[in-house]
Amino acid sequence: MKIDKVTLFPVKMPLVAHFETSFGRIYDRECVLLQVESEGLVGWGECVADADPGYSYETTGTVMHILKDFLLPLVVGRNITDAADYQNRISSIRGHHFAKAGFEMALWDLMGQREGKSLSQLFGGIRDKVEVGVSIGIQDSTAELVKRVDEFTALGYKRIKIKIKPGRDISEAEAVRKAYPNIKLQVDANSAYTLDMAKSLLPLDEMNLLLIEQPLFDDDIWDHRLFQKQLKTAICLDESVISPRHARYAIEMEACKVINIKPGRVGGLSQGIEIAQMCHKIGMPVWCGGSLETGIGRATNLAIATLPGFTMPGDISASDRYYKQDVTHDRFTLNADSTITVPTAPGIGVTVDEAAVKEFSFGEYQTSA
């Protein structure tokens, strides 16, 4: 695909409700959307950075910088054959996976449109709907948290994830487990504990959780191995697995029993697919994580989650859980069986509301061949 023109839209979108993790609370979500024009087609991608370097070192600002000054000059005006060719061309840029993944997403959209195939078809997906859950942020009180869980279970979510942080962990999980003795429940610490502090999490091991997500440092795999040895419950790595190579390290070190695949974190859909295939081969379950995506990233998360290895419910909730106004005309809704239906139209399979993109944008940048 000859890349003719790229427009970047840094956007800031109000969330329907605040979202709090161990690294902070947000009321709006920032990200960078890419519009890529090629041979008369228009593809869209989403870079899942946020305003602050809390989850990752990447921010909206670093994504704009890396794309403008380093990545786009390597691709604009060039003929890119596929995702592998793209990854090869940008391999001189170290790190910055959110930036890299955003452009790759748009490339997949273009390739799908050219071939008249949905992303799920291009990837070799095997389902037309994906099992999903909801990720609930830290609330002002335990009672408030249980109320949020009540609301989401009433909407039909059959898998609940709660965010935890030191001091707001055992009591929170215990309260939800007591209210819902049989629900599929998991917790996510977003790297808030040291191995030593993690001793305080041992009571979680008796709460029949699906998994404990990323308790220890984001750049750590080894200590997760040491902690996993102390638990019956599966540790699931999120932040620590930033590439197929890191997935292999985690597998070989027995640092986890499950991997959360986020295409952005690992540097692109192609990299996520590679990790999914690696895990599938050895029987390690994976699921698709989320980063409060817009309709664009939500569509591609659903597409990758149709691959055979994705055997656990994803953090892919309905559009109205995140945004009153999204940047796609299409909105995703929850089916009665706690699934979301995968788009079938060519490419990412959703249409972008350009007026909404412009409304949320705070500084476009454009470059062409």
- Residue 268 φ then ψ, to 5°: 140, 160
For the segment 272-311, give every residue that binds ligand OSB (CB under 6 A): 289-292
Write each residue from 237 to 256 as x if it is in contact with ligand OSB (CB under 6 A), else as -, in one continuous string: -x------------------
User: x/- site string to ligand OSB, residues 189 to 208, per CB under 6 A?
Assistant: -x------------------
Rounded (to 5) percent helix, strand, coil in the chain: 35, 25, 40
Tokens describing residue 189: 């610490």
Convert 115-144 to b/e letters by CB count within 10 Å (16 or more is b).
eebbbbbbbebebeebbbbbbbbbbeeeee
Site pattern 5..24 for ligand OSB (x: CB under 6 A): --------------------
Contacting residue, 46, 104, 131, 188, with Mg ion by CB under 5 A: 188
- Residue 67 main-chain phi, psi, to 5 deg: -65, -55
Task: Report the b/e string of 36-59 with b at 16+ CB within 10 A.
Answer: bbbeebbbbbbbbbbeeeebbebb
Q: Which is nearer to Mg ion, 103 or 287 (CB)?
A: 287
315 binds Mg ion (CB under 5 A): no
256 to 295: interface string for Mg ion, x by CB under 5 A: ----------------------------------------
- For residue 214, the minimal CB distance to Mg ion (Å) is 5
Q: 3-class DSSP state for residue 11?
A: strand
- Tokens encoding 188: 């996510």
Contact flag: residue 188 with ligand OSB (CB under 6 A): yes
User: From residue 207, how far is each of 163, 201, 230, 355 by CA, in Å?
Assistant: 15, 11, 15, 47
Is 111 or 288 the residue whose CB approaches ligand OSB more closely? 288
Asked if 58 is part of the footprint of ligand OSB (rule: CB under 6 A), the reply reads no
Q: Could you identify the residue written with the tokens 């049989």?
A: 182
Residue 317 contacts ligand OSB per CB under 6 A: yes
Per annotation, catalytic residue among 100, 161, 184, 262: 262
Closer to ligand OSB at the Cβ: 263 or 289? 289
CB 175 within 8 A of CB 146: yes
Closest distance to ligand OSB from the beta carbon of 59 (Å): 13
- Residues binding Mg ion (CB under 5 A): 188, 213, 238
> Annotated active-site positions, please?
163, 262
Residues near ligand OSB, by CB under 6 A: 55, 135, 188, 190, 238, 289-292, 315, 317
